Chain A
Amino acid sequence: MPAQEAVITLEEVYYKYPTSQDWVLRGVNLEIYRGEFLGLVGTTSAGKTTLCQCFNGLIPHYTLGTFSGRVLVEGKDTSESDVASLSGTVGVVFQDADAQLVMSSVLEEVMLGLTMRGMPGRQARDKARHMLEKIGIPHLAERPPYALSGGQKQRAAIAAVMVMRPKILVLDEATSELDSLTVHRIFDLCQELNEQGETIVLVTHEMELLSQYADRIVLFDAGQVLLQGPPRQVFQQAETFQRVGVRLPQVTELVQSLGPRLATETLPLSVAEAQQLIEGGSGDH
């Protein structure tokens, strides 16, 4: 675990859309640390997407509504800087891939963010090609986004944000349409970036994978942080997860359900860990 220096700090954040009757965020206090791999989980109505939009200033700058509290990105209050400059620090990939792809080819799409920042065409093109290579879709460079499959679109959208090398990368359910192989690939790529010092925030329902990759998991419900901590630690609160409606990894759930009969301090997160636990004969004590 890296040194606990907060790159994003939320203090008592409340937010309500112009159309919503109730608060969507109700007093969120959360710190995101530099270099960590954070998993954000919760039901679809929990307000995770709204929360992600606070990270890069879309709330309160772009989205109208009632906002109170403070969001600090690298110590700077987001209400005092604009989205464009924040987006150099925080990159957010949204769920709806269709709406995120606005150009006529995948390559153009990935280049857009770079050229908008004033990078000359040729250099931007090289960078974009390199990114496509990394994310595994170099063959799609010239294809128009609408001719791609759902999974390919999501990868293109991720590449378009990743290429800008934000210090904090937020993926808001950006892997939901992908098959398991591709999801693995995206998670691996995030890990690779994470090892290079990037802060990763992943919003996902893929609990099994998340528990392998994340340093810390935040359970978000009804506009508030309910639980936070390393996966093993938060999963101890199985009832809370169940009440909220978020699944634990299957092996964790299994060992949890057996309760004290499998006396163990550390919950298994993967098949290998569970196998080790059972083969190790923790059953006889």
Chain B
Amino acid sequence: MTTEPLIRVEKMSFAYRPGVNVIHDIDIAIEPGEFTAIIGNNGSGKSTLMKLILGLLKPTQGRIIVGGIDTRTAKVSDMARRIGFIFQEPNEQLFANSVEEEIRFGLRNLQLAETEIEKRVNETLDLFGLQPLRQVFPRFLARGDKQKVCIAAIVAMHPQIILLDEPTTGQDHRDSRKIMELAETLNARGITVLLVTHDMPNVAQYARRVILLNDGVLVKSAATLEVLADQALMQSCSLVPPQITRLGLALQPLGFRPALKVQEMATQMAHWLDQRQATT
């Protein structure tokens, strides 16, 4: 048996209105266990692509196969068994009168047995450190915690893939880091993570692969550093690499390598300082 990618996008185009393509003929293969970021400008089609993968929108041309299922014929509520889509705005999802009810909602929709539901609710509350808040009305939580509840509600459904749509928009550094670390933990547990964002430092820090879209065209799909350190390419898509990557590039004549994380650069720099000290 040849290994089939978890998500296969084949010669896919999409138009909201006939003749006006927002996505042009793209091919993507996502393997199980990936942590991949989809980046691009406002209007590049990245959020549309996510909706297509979940089946909320259907391709105008080509097809998308997720875990062997063609999204064109599948129902979204069935796709939701495999894909956990976490929308940007918690206030457009939270409705139950307690955190635990919020988590139970998806599980009930999956028509699991009551004992299984209770087991998963508890597991998830533990995993997310939400036990103390289990009875709280989710709308009263701070924004970061609301987002956490939304992710918990999806993770409880045991999806193979998690799609995060701009999860850190409007969040402060502390909350955004918590959310990204959570995504990293889930990825380490074997869940495939797809992240749509314009937060380049987070892409650099967490994603292993980057898919770059511009005006609905797939411009590049490669390892994170390869994309972010290609300044000409990034600029042509009106994107700015993280400061630390730009610094690494600027210091290449001194023997530095472009880096993705502050820590990487700090290590290089400490090493460089050691060498300089040794020579003087």
Contact = CB atoms under 8 A, between A and B. Distances in A.
Are chains A and B touching directly in their complex (CB below 8 angstroms)?
Answer: yes
Of the four ranges (under 10, 10 to 19, 20 to 34, 35 or more), the interface on chain B belongs to 35 or more
A43 B251 contact: no
A180 B200 contact: yes
Of the four ranges (under 10, 10 to 19, 20 to 34, 35 or more), the interface on chain A belongs to 35 or more
Given A181-B238, A284-B276, A251 B254 contact: no
B171 interface: yes
B42 A205 contact: no
Chain B binding site: helix, strand, loop or mixed by DSSP?
Answer: helix
Contact of A261 (B142, B247, B251, B270): B270
B67 interface: no
Given A176-B169, A251-B244, A270-B243, 5 more contacts: A150-B42, A179-B198, A254-B266, A254-B269, A258-B270
B177 to A, nearest CB: 8
A205 B168 CA distance: 11
B172 A275 contact: no
Contacts, number: 106
A266 interface: no
Nearest to A207: B173
Contact of A205 (B43, B173, B277): B173
Given A176-B170, A245-B174, A283 B254 contact: no
Interface string A146-167: 0001111000000000000000
Interface string A230-255: 00000000000000011101110110
B262 A274 contact: no
Interface of A: 42-45, 95, 149-152, 173, 176-182, 184, 205, 208, 245-247, 249-251, 253-254, 257-258, 261-262, 270-272, 274-275, 278-279, 281, 283-284
Interface string B239-255: 11011101100110010
B42 A250 contact: no
Contacts of B266: 254, 257-258
Given A44-B144, A208-B243, A257-B266, A284 B251 contact: no
B269 A250 contact: no
Interface string B155-188: 0000000000010011111110000000000000
